[in-house]
C-alpha cells in the first residue's frame, strides 16, 4: 500500500513519515531531510534527493511515490502570460495559468477536471464534470512551477481555473493549508484567493478558517433574473442569500464580472450599491454563449473602451475603486475575466 504524502497537510505528512521511518528503524532526523522535499525544496522523484542514502530513496519511491502532473503543452502570450495543459495520472486534463506582473507571479489553478455548473460563458462548463482533483493534484500545479524553476515560485495563487473549488471542499481545504503553512509553500494567506459562484454551506466552512485568505465571488450579473439566465446555480443559491452570506464574511471580497457589451450597460445598475461594489470591466472578445436552459447560443461582443471607461467614472463617483484593464497582447487574445472589488483599507501580508 502506498501513501500519497502530497495530498496530506504538512502536519499529517510529518506524522505519516514518522510512522514509516520508525517502522523501518530509520533515525528520526530523516524527517527533517525528507519533509522539505515535498514542498519547500521539492524533488520530482526521490532518486533526485541525493542527500538521502540510496536504499532509503529506493524505499521511498516504492512506498511513498511522488505523484507528478505531465505537461502536455503550454502557450505563451507576448505579455508573458503562460497557459499550461496538464495530464493527470488517469488521462484527465486540467489547465493552470501563470501571470507575471512585475515581481508578482500569480498562478491560476484548477480544482476539478471539468465543471458541473454550466455557466454559459465558461468553457469548462461545456466539458461537463469529470471528477474532483486530489489535494496533491491541486497543490501539484504550484509544485510543478517550482520544479520548472525554483526562482519563479508563484507569489500569489488563485483558485480560478477549471472547476468550482467549494464543490471540492475537503481537497481545497487541505490545499489551502499546504499553500500557506511554512512547511508547505509558505505563501501568505492574503496572497491566496478562492473564487466561487457561492456554494453557501462550504462558503461558511471557508469563512471559519482562521487565516485571512481572500474570497472572490463570480457574480456576473446585477440582478437575480439575469444571473439565473447566465448561471444555473442561481436557482439553488440565490443572489439575496449569497449577499447575506458575504455580509457575514467580514473580510475583503472581490466580485467578478465577465463583461460583454450588453452586460456592461446593465452593470450601471451596480451603482445602486453606492460604494459596496467596484466594477473593473475588461474587453471581452467575440464568443458564443450557451443559454443556461440549453437553448441557442447568444452573441457577446467586445465592449467599446469608451463604454468601459464611462462605467469606471460612474463607479468612482460613488467613491468606489475601479479601473479598466488593457487586453493582453497575444494572438488570438484570451478572454480574461473582469473583476469587481470593494474599497478596503487593508493591505497585503499574511
Which domains does the chain show, CATH number per domain? 5-63 (1.10.150), 70-340 (3.20.20.70)
Phi, psi of 314, deg, nearest 5: -65, -40
Pairing mode of beta strands 192-196, 214-218: parallel
Cβ-contact 76, 325 below 8 angstroms? no
Phi, psi of 263, deg, nearest 5: -75, -25
Share of the chain above pLDDT 90, in %: 62
* String of DSSP letters for 78-93: TTS-EEEEEE-TTS-E
| Residue 237 predicted with pLDDT over 80 | yes
**Catalytic option among 119, 137, 324, 327:** 324
3-state SS, residue 149 = coil
Q: And the C-alpha cell for 32?
A: 527533517
User: Average pLDDT in the 61-85 region?
Assistant: 95
Q: Tell the residue number behind the cell numbers 437575480, with chain if given.
A: 224
The predicted structure's pLDDT at residue 298: 43
The predicted structure's pLDDT at residue 266: 52
Closest to 218 (Cα-Cα) out of 345, 118, 150: 118
The predicted structure's pLDDT at residue 120: 86
- Burial tier of 319 (Cβ tally within 10 Å: 0-12, 13-18, 19+): exposed
More confident residue, 1 or 2: 2
Residues 92-118 have pLDDT tens digits of 999 999 999 999 999 999 999 999 999
**Catalytic option among 26, 95, 137, 234:** 95
d(CA 277, CA 344): 11
Question: Quick check: is 280 catalytic?
Answer: no
Bridge partners of residue 129, in order along the sequence: 114
User: Average pLDDT in the 308-323 region?
Assistant: 66
| Residue 78 predicted with pLDDT over 70 | yes
More confident residue, 280 or 83: 83
User: How many angstroms from the chain centroid is the CA of residue 3?
Assistant: 26
pTM for the model stands at: 0.81
Cβ-contact 5, 20 below 8 angstroms? no
d(CA 219, CA 224): 10
Phi, psi of 335, deg, nearest 5: -105, 85
Q: Average pLDDT, whole number, for the chain?
A: 82
Q: And the C-alpha cell for 31?
A: 524527517
Residues 251-288 have pLDDT tens digits of 888 888 776 555 544 544 544 443 444 433 333 333 33
More confident residue, 307 or 109: 109
| Residue 328 predicted with pLDDT over 80 | no
d(CA 78, CA 328): 8
What are the Cα distances from residue 249, in Å, to 71, 188, 211, 254? Answer: 37, 19, 12, 12
Cβ-contact 29, 172 below 8 angstroms? no
Question: Quick check: is 92 catalytic?
Answer: no
d(CA 276, CA 340): 10
Amino acid at each position: 500500500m502506498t501513501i500519497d504524502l502530497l495530498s496530506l497537510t504538512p502536519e499529517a505528512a510529518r506524522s505519516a513519515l514518522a510512522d514509516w521511518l520508525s517502522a523501518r528503524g530509520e533515525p528520526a532526523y530523516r524527517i527533517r531531510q525528507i519533509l522539505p522535499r515535498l514542498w519547500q525544496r521539492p524533488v520530482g522523484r526521490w532518486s533526485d534527493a541525493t542527500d538521502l542514502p540510496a536504499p532509503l530513496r529506493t524505499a521511498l519511491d516504492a512506498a511513498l511515490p511522488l505523484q507528478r502532473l505531465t505537461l502536455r503543452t503550454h502557450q505563451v502570450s507576448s505579455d508573458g502570460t503562460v497557459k499550461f495543459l496538464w495530464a493527470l495520472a488517469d488521462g484527465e486534463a486540467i489547465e493552470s495559468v501563470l501571470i507575471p506582473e512585475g515581481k508578482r507571479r500569480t498562478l491560476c489553478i484548477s480544482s476539478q477536471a471539468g465543471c458541473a455548473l454550466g455557466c454559459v460563458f465558461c468553457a469548462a462548463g461545456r466539458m461537463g464534470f469529470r471528477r474532483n482533483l486530489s489535494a496533491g493534484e491541486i497543490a501539484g500545479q504550484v509544485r510543478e512551477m517550482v520544479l520548472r524553476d525554483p526562482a519563479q515560485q508563484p507569489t500569489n495563487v488563485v483558485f480560478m481555473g477549471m472547476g468550482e473549488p467549494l464543490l471540492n471542499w475537503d481537497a481545497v481545504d487541505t490545499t489551502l493549508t499546504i499553500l500557506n503553512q511554512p512547511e508547505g509553500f509558505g505563501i501568505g494567506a492574503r496572497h491566496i484567493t478562492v473564487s466561487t459562484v457561492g456554494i453557501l454551506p462550504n462558503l461558511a466552512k471557508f469563512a471559519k478558517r482562521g487565516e485571512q485568505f481572500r474570497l472572490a465571488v463570480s457574480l456576473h450579473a446585477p440582478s437575480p433574473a439575469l444571473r439565473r439566465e447566465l448561471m444555473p446555480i442561481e436557482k439553488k443559491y440565490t443572489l439575496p442569500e449569497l449577499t447575506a452570506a458575504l455580509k457575514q464574511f467580514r473580510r475583503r471580497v472581490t466580485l467578478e464580472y465577465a463583461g460583454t457589451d450588453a452586460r456592461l450597460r446593465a452593470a450601471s445598475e451596480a451603482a445602486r450599491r453606492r460604494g459596496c461594489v467596484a466594477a473593473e470591466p475588461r474587453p471581452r472578445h467575440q464568443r458564443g454563449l450557451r443559454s443556461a436552459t440549453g437553448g441557442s447560443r447568444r452573441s457577446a461582443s467586445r465592449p467599446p473602451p469608451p463604454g468601459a471607461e464611462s462605467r469606471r467614472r460612474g463607479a468612482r463617483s460613488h467613491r468606489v475603486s475601479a479601473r479598466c484593464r488593457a487586453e493582453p497582447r497575444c494572438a488570438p487574445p484570451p478572454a480574461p475575466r473582469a473583476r469587481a472589488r470593494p474599497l478596503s483599507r487593508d493591505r497585503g501580508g499574511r
